[in-house]
């Protein structure tokens, strides 16, 4: 199809439209639903992150120890990993003091884990990086810092929630 001049996206849409959305031939579930369930983890956890990473266009050839010590890089990473969760925790605490109920069965580890996950930020952070800086080196460094900060936030948030789940399960 590519040789015929048909864009791969259109090819995918055409193939998707040919998959039955209703059960046929004594099937218990529709093939479209089964394919979706089968392909969603592959798409969401592997294909989409790889596509997003390469679409960012961050040159990694010059990344070294000195790059990781630059104030711009450190400021963005610390802001995502510590600043955003701290802001969420402070506001959650203030809402609790104001009398808002966060829900029964919610533990502090749940709130800390979710607050840590708030440090994940791509789209708006990349847009702000492009608008805040004029030189391409600073834009690339800011985008790399957003990527690193988001990955650290994801890792720390996931670990915090998992530890909380294990602790809550043992009680």
Q: Which pLDDT score is estimated for 59?
A: 73
Going from the C-alpha of 168 to that of each of 1, 97, 102, 159, the distances in angstroms are 54, 24, 17, 14
Rounded Cα distance, 162 and 109, in Å: 9
Rounded Cα distance, 69 and 124, in Å: 24
Q: Which pLDDT score is estimated for 13?
A: 87
Rounded Cα distance, 44 and 47, in Å: 6
pTM: 0.69
The alpha carbons of the chain give a radius of gyration, in whole angstroms, of 22
Roughly how many angstroms between the first and final C-alpha of the chain, as a whole number? 58
Q: Which pLDDT score is estimated for 6?
A: 82
Q: Name residues of the chain where pLDDT drops below 70.
A: 171
Token pair for 111: 């709130």
Which letter does DSSP use for residue 57 in this model? T
Q: Which residue in 152, 92, 90, 91 sits closest to 121, CA to CA?
A: 152
Q: Which pLDDT score is estimated for 121?
A: 79
Helix or strand or coil: residue 44?
Answer: helix
Q: Which pLDDT score is estimated for 80?
A: 93
Write down the domain spans for the chain: 8-56, 65-170
Q: Which pLDDT score is estimated for 86?
A: 96
């Amino acid at each position: 199809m590519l040789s015929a001049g048909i864009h791969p996206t259109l090819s995918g849409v055409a193939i998707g439209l040919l998959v039955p959305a209703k059960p046929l031939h004594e099937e218990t579930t529709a093939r479209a639903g089964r394919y979706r369930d089968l392909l969603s983890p592959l798409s969401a956890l592997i294909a989409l992150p790889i596509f997003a990473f390469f679409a960012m266009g961050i040159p990694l050839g010059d990344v070294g120890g000195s790059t990781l010590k630059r104030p711009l890089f450190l400021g963005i990473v610390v802001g995502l990993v510590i600043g955003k969760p701290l802001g969420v925790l402070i506001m959650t605490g203030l809402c609790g003091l104001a009398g808002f109920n966060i829900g029964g069965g919610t533990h502090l580890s749940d709130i800390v884990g979710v607050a840590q996950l708030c440090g994940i930020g791509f789209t708006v952070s990349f847009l702000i990086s492009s608008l805040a800086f004029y030189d391409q080196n600073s834009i690339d460094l800011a985008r790399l810092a957003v990527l690193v900060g988001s990955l650290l936030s994801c890792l720390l948030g996931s670990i915090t929630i998992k530890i909380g789940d294990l602790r809550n399960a043992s009680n």
